[in-house]
């Protein structure tokens, strides 16, 4: 019996020692988000942990609706993780009281000139919705994006089509695609965000900047330029540019799948679509991005210019909760996920565009892939000034309703925007 007691005591001591040493060596940082997708986040975590073997990241990636729910619940029960994924504007502002201003940490990590290292649109949007006089950065951008149209190069080549540069050409290309039994512009209209993207691209030509002024109450939503944009939006449906049934289709997975399967000629997405180059299972059309090309929304106002500069901004950012105060390991993760090995892993996956300058994928499989990347980060992203996002969730929802009502023939463009003005106009 005595022998067993000695053995038990030895095991207990050993276990305690091991547990103590593990907890003493391994620091844990918790991170929740809805983006990047889990596969990419796992790669970011692996890259970080390879660099910092004494720190473990416990990352939880939710789908978007679940994430909203999880954040609210955790905030209410004071159990938020150390780091949280954030959208600029309403989401960041909602959790502002729980977040640590990050500008001092940024100086510490990246020096006094840290803001010069970021693309300007990312920093502009990071403070979207801050109260007047509050210059704090409650979130920092991790990845940026631009919005644009994509086309199927193989189909265009096969049908002898050129990338449309004007509205008339756009309609002609759509007609040719339709005639060939191909959905011209695949739209996942059940997801209002894609409808807003298309409308904003048009409105940026017919009434540059007016939608943002309308949101601030400095212009009406039924401004003639916006009404004109809404008429073009309506034409997308009445002229058969968008496939029938578009308003009943979600972007992901259905509309994107249709395009990826080569059954759609064009689709409105953005720089993030480059991630299909690394999708699992592979998307044949996107191998080396050889099957697809990106272009800007064609000229609709007759000035010969497409929607340039494109709209864009923060894809997603990161915030540090007050729970993480005094934990240097959390700052190490923040650094890695914004400027270091973490974001490099995401960019290697073509997840989207980096928020800081000078990061690019370590490998390109084709020249076309490299050219696309260069177009996004050198030609488009530095020029972006107009945000893709609207500040107010109410305005966003109201605009989604107006676009759906026009697309389904329930309202005229004028009536839809009059109603929007009455509902959310200031």
Partner 1 sequence: MKNHGEARGDAIRKIAGWKRRVELGGFIGPAVFLFALFVVYPIIYLVYGSFFSWSGVGTMEWIGWANYARLAGDWIFRLALRNEVLWALFTIFPQMFLGFILAVCLNRPLFGRNIYRAILYMPAVISPVVIGIIWQSIYDPYMGPLADFLRSVGLGSWVRAWLAEPQTALFAIIAVNVWKWTGWSMIMYLAGLQGIPEEVYEAATIDGVNVFQRVTKIMWPMCRGTTLTLILLGVIGTLQEFALVYVLTKGGPNHASELLTTHIFNEAFTLRNMGYASAISVVLLIIGVVMSMLQLRYTGSGKTARGVL
Q: Provide the phi-psi class of 71: left if phi over 0, else alpha when psi is between -120 and 50, else beta.
A: alpha
Tell me how far, at minimum, the Cβ of 402 lies from partner 1, in Å: 9
Region binding partner 1 by CB under 8 A among candidate stretches 67-75, 105-113, 153-161, 167-175? 67-75
Give yes or no for residue 72 binding partner 1 (CB under 8 A). Answer: yes
Tell me how far, at minimum, the Cβ of 238 lies from partner 1, in Å: 14
Q: How many CB atoms lie within 10 A of CB 285?
A: 19
Q: Are 44 and 342 in contact (CB under 8 A)?
A: yes
Tell me how far, at minimum, the Cβ of 406 lies from partner 1, in Å: 9
Nearer to partner 1, 16 or 73 (CB): 73
Nearer to partner 1, 89 or 225 (CB): 89
Give yes or no for residue 69 binding partner 1 (CB under 8 A). Answer: yes
**Nearest partner of 104 among 331, 308, 274, 296, judged by Cα:** 331
Instruction: Give the span between the Cα atoms of 83 and 61, in whole angstroms.
Output: 12
Give yes or no for residue 258 binding partner 1 (CB under 8 A). Answer: yes
- The 338-377 contact track toward partner 1, x by CB under 8 A, reads ----------------------------------------
Give yes or no for residue 247 binding partner 1 (CB under 8 A). Answer: yes
Q: Is cis: bond before 405, omega within 30 of 0? A: no
- The CA–CA distances, whole Å, from 257 to 189, 197, 273, 352 equal 14, 19, 12, 19
Q: Provide the phi-psi class of 310: left if phi over 0, else alpha when psi is between -120 and 50, else beta.
A: beta
**Nearest partner of 386 among 298, 314, 313, judged by Cα:** 313
Give yes or no for residue 183 binding partner 1 (CB under 8 A). Answer: yes
What stretch of H or E contains 295?
strand 292-295
Question: Which one among 37, 46, 75, 175 touches partner 1, defined by CB under 8 A?
Answer: 75
Nearer to partner 1, 111 or 409 (CB): 409
Give yes or no for residue 281 binding partner 1 (CB under 8 A). Answer: no
Tell me how many residues contact partner 1 (CB under 8 A): 38
- The 197-216 contact track toward partner 1, x by CB under 8 A, reads --------------------
Strand 55-61 and strand 27-33: the pairing is: parallel
Helix axis angle for 393-407 and 224-238, nearest 10°, is: 50
What's the sign of the alpha-carbon dihedral 241, 245, 250, 252? negative
Nearer to partner 1, 224 or 393 (CB): 393
Tell me how far, at minimum, the Cβ of 39 lies from partner 1, in Å: 19
Contact residues for 376 (Cβ-Cβ < 8 A; gap 6+): 146, 271, 274, 294, 353
**Nearest partner of 385 among 302, 289, 312, judged by Cα:** 312
Region binding partner 1 by CB under 8 A among candidate stretches 13-21, 138-146, 358-366, 392-400? 392-400
Nearer to partner 1, 215 or 349 (CB): 215
Give yes or no for residue 149 binding partner 1 (CB under 8 A). Answer: no
Nearer to partner 1, 43 or 391 (CB): 391
Give yes or no for residue 239 binding partner 1 (CB under 8 A). Answer: no
Region binding partner 1 by CB under 8 A among candidate stretches 245-253, 267-275, 283-291, 341-349? 245-253
Q: Are 388 and 307 in contact (CB under 8 A)?
A: no
- The 98-137 contact track toward partner 1, x by CB under 8 A, reads x---------------------------------------
Helix axis angle for 103-110 and 328-338, nearest 10°, is: 70
Contact residues for 271 (Cβ-Cβ < 8 A; gap 6+): 144, 145, 146, 148, 294, 312, 352, 353, 376, 380, 381
Q: How many CB atoms lie within 10 A of CB 295?
A: 15
Question: Which one among 250, 305, 366, 422 touches partner 1, defined by CB under 8 A?
Answer: 250
Backbone dihedral angles phi then psi of residue 412, each to the nearest 5 degrees: -80, 160
Backbone dihedral angles phi then psi of residue 150, each to the nearest 5 degrees: -115, 150
Instruction: Give the span between the Cα atoms of 43 and 46, in whole angstroms.
Output: 5
Tell me how far, at minimum, the Cβ of 369 lies from partner 1, in Å: 29
Region binding partner 1 by CB under 8 A among candidate stretches 36-44, 218-226, 243-251, 299-307? 243-251
Give yes or no for residue 189 binding partner 1 (CB under 8 A). Answer: yes
Give yes or no for residue 393 binding partner 1 (CB under 8 A). Answer: yes
- The CA–CA distances, whole Å, from 421 to 206, 214, 222, 226, 285 equal 18, 9, 6, 11, 42
Question: Which one among 217, 253, 282, 328 touches partner 1, defined by CB under 8 A?
Answer: 253
- The 12-41 contact track toward partner 1, x by CB under 8 A, reads ------------------------------
Binding site for partner 1 (CB under 8 A): 65, 68-69, 71-72, 75-76, 90, 94-95, 97-98, 183, 189-192, 243-250, 253-254, 258, 263, 393-394, 397, 401, 404-405, 407-408, 410
């Amino acid at each position: 019996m005595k022998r067993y007691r000695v053995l038990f005591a030895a095991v207990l001591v050993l276990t305690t020692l091991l547990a103590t040493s593990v907890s003493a060596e391994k620091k844990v940082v918790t991170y929740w988000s809805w983006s990047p997708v889990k596969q990419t986040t796992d790669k970011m975590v692996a890259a970080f942990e390879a660099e910092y073997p004494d720190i473990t990241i416990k990352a939880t990636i939710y789908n978007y609706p679940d994430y909203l729910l999880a954040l609210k619940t955790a905030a209410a029960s004071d159990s938020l993780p150390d780091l949280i994924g954030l959208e600029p504007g309403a989401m960041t502002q909602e959790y502002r009281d729980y977040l640590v201003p990050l500008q001092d940490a940024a100086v510490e990590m990246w020096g006094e000139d840290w803001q010069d290292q970021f693309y300007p649109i990312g920093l502009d949007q990071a403070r979207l919705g801050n109260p007047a006089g509050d210059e704090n950065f409650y979130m920092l951008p991790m990845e940026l994006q631009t919005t644009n149209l994509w086309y199927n190069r193989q189909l265009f080549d096969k049908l002898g089509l050129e990338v449309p540069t004007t509205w008339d050409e756009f309609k002609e290309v759509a007609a040719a695609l339709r005639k060939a039994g191909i959905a011209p512009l695949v739209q996942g209209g059940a997801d209002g965000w894609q409808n807003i993207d298309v409308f904003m691209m048009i409105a940026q030509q017919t009434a540059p900047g007016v939608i943002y002024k309308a949101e601030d109450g400095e212009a009406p939503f039924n401004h003639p330029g916006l009404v004109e944009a809404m008429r073009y939006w309506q034409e997308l449906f009445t002229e058969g540019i968008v496939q029938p049934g578009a308003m009943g289709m979600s972007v992901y997975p259905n509309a994107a799948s249709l395009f990826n399967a080569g059954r759609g000629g064009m689709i409105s997405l953005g720089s993030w679509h480059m991630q299909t180059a690394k999708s699992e299972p592979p998307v044949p059309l996107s191998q080396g991005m050889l099957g697809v090309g990106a272009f800007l929304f064609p000229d609709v106002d007759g000035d010969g210019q497409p929607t340039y500069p494109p709209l864009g901004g923060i894809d997603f950012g990161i915030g540090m909760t007050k729970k993480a105060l005094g934990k240097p390991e959390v700052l190490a993760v923040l650094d890695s996920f914004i400027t270091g090995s973490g974001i490099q892993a995401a960019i290697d996956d073509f997840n989207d565009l980096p928020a800081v300058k000078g990061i690019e994928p370590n490998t390109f499989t084709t020249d076309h892939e490299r050219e696309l990347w260069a177009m996004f980060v050198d030609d488009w992203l530095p020029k972006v000034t107009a945000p893709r996002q609207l500040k107010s969730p109410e305005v966003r929802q109201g605009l989604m309703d107006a676009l759906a009502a026009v697309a389904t023939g329930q309202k005229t463009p004028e009536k839809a925007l009059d109603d929007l003005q009455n509902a959310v106009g200031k």
